Structures are given as C-alpha cells and as structure tokens.
Amino acid sequence: MSTQVLHTVEEMRKWRAEQRMSGAQVGLVATMGALHSGHLHLVQTAATECTSVVVSIFVNPAQFAPHEDLQEYPRTLSSDIAQLQSLSLPDTSLVVFAPRVSDMYPRGISTNRTLQRGAFIEMLGLSEMLEGGTRPHFFRGVCTVVAKLFHATEPHRAYFGQKDVQQCCVIKAMVDDLLFPLHIKVVPTVRDKESGLALSSRNVYLTREEKERAPAFYHGLCRAKELFESGVVEGDKLLEVVREEAEKCGLDVEYVCLSSPDDLQSVDVVGGRGAILSGAWRMGSTRLIDNILLGFEF
C-alpha cells in the first residue's frame, strides 16, 4: 500500500482538515522509529478501529538526559516506511508524520533540562517513581511531545503498548487532566515467540549471549503471575521470584516493584483493583524494562 509522508505541522494540519471534512476516524500510533513487530501490531490494531491512522516517527530529545543514547538511538526512517507499506490495511488510510526537531520545539531543545526554554508538561505524582526514579527527566519529555502530537494530529484514539506501562498510565492521566478529547487504548506487549522477550527498539543493541539471558526477567514475571493466580497476594513473595529468576541468569536488576494501577505507588499486597509488577534491568550498556498485570486489564 502507498503511504503518505508528512514532515511539517502545517502539512499535517492540512491533511487533518481533509480527514475532518470526510468524517474519518483518526488513530495515532506515536513512535520514535526503529519499528519492529510490536509497533506494526499497534498500527494493525488501530486500523481495525479507525479509517485513518497516523504513525508518528520522531526521536524526542526532551526525554533523553545528556548522558543517554540520543545520538546512538537508531534512526531508520526509510526502512520504517517500507515496513508500514508492507502492511495489508485495505480499508485504512495510512500516513507517516515525521516532523523535524525545529517543528516540534520551535524554541530549540537541549537534553540539559536547565537550558530548556518553552512550554513543558509534567504529571506530578505519577512520574517520580519507577522509571522516574532513575530518569527524572523522562516523563516530562514524553508528556510534552505526546501533547504536541495530539495537538498536531487531533486523533480520536491513540494506541500505546503495555511494555511501557508507566508511560501508559501517565499519558492516560494527562489526557484526563488536560481534557484532550480522545481515547487512549493500551495494547498488550508483543513478545518474541520463542523467548518471551518483549520487543523493543533497544534490543538491537544486545549481543547474542545477552539475548539469551535477557528473557529471564520475563520468566520471573510469569512465575510471579502463576503464584498470584494460585492465591499468593503478598508483594514480597511475588517480588522474590522475579529476583530469583533474574539472578540465575546474572541480570543486573535496577528495580522490581509491585504498584497500584491507580497511582503507581508501591503496594505490599495485590488488592481488589489488581497491581502492576514491573522492573528494569541492564544487559551490558542496554537498559530494558518489562511488566505484567495482576488481577486487572487496561
């Protein structure tokens, strides 16, 4: 299928006006490119519910700290477009929005927060824990760029993968707080069929040996879910089995946490509204995250 590629906010708004006139239902899949099967699944999910789908491809400087991998982050626009064009979406209009940094940040953008100028969005109370504990800049950058994408594309629905579960919670709360007229749909994590490793653009950094060990964290999450389904609700027991599996394979675990799905605060037991079991670990210089839902679904 042919895919239209737009590079400026002006082009996007012109296209969006045409969609409005035709009564199209518009879905957004926001990405930083380096597309993999998980991204394509989001697009296919959006296409089942929307007549037009925008796939944004933008490596967002605001969510990187000065010491992180902004410059090394893979930029593969041509192959990303080719992957999208290979999809069979006969009843859906597909558009790629690949804006320039100067379009998204007219005042310029530095990865050094003290040098940043302009408008930024923070979700206080949801951004400080878990990923925010080691990456305090991250969700400020995510919320800001996602809000800009919402304004530029005006979607009826936006689709995000459960792998980034805290991001999903933060964005859903931002949409509610800032009165965005759209629905957020969280799509289950897509995993490697053999190992269970969550698909991620950063997996390309892993060596063969690291790819063999990395799924141990997910295996621990699965063991914890089995325990929960057998009646175990105590957080310490669920966290311990995740750590045990990770330690067996020598994973450098950064954190494992059992959290409330309402406010992401750490909890001691899985309550009636369920809980999120999540964590982060490093394989060499590559940082990975994963999670599993206990007793609830988005």
**Contact of 169 with 175, CB cutoff 8 Å:** no
Identify the H or E element spanning 251: none
Listing DSSP states for 13-36 in one string gives HHHHHHHHHHT--EEEEEE-S---
Spatial distance between the Cα atoms of 119 and 33, rounded to a whole number of angstroms: 24
- In a 13 Å sphere around the CA of 55, the CA atoms on its Cβ side amount to 31
CA–chain centroid gap for 7, Å, is: 22
Identify whether 36 is a catalytic site residue: no
Spatial distance between the Cα atoms of 156 and 184, rounded to a whole number of angstroms: 9
Q: Give the active site residue among 7, 39, 41, 151.
A: 39
DSSP 271: B
Q: Which residue numbers are catalytic?
A: 39
